[in-house]
Amino acid sequence: MFSFIVLDDNYLTMKILIAEDDELMLKTLELRLKKDGHEIISASDGRDALSKIEQHTPDLVISDIMMPYVSGLEIVAYLTENRQSKKIPIIVLSGMGQEDIVLEAFQLGADDFITKPFSPSELSVRVKRFAAINSR
Residues composing the chain: 136
Is 29 strand, coil or helix?
helix
> Per rule CB under 8 A, is residue 122 in the interface with another protein?
yes
Site string for another protein, 35-74 (x = CB under 8 A): x---------------------------------------
Per CB under 8 A, the list member of 5, 7, 12, 31 interacting with another protein is: 31
User: For 131, how many CA atoms within 13 A lie in the half-sphere containing its CB?
Assistant: 22
CB of 11 to another protein, least distance (A): 21
Cβ distance to another protein smaller for residue 30 or 134: 30
Per CB under 8 A, the list member of 13, 15, 21, 22 interacting with another protein is: 22
Instruction: Specify whether the CB–CB gap between 49 and 7 falls below 8 A.
Output: no
Smallest CA-to-CA distance from 39 within 60, 64, 53 is with 60
Q: Give residues in contact with another protein (CB under 8 A).
A: 22-25, 27-28, 31-32, 35, 116-122
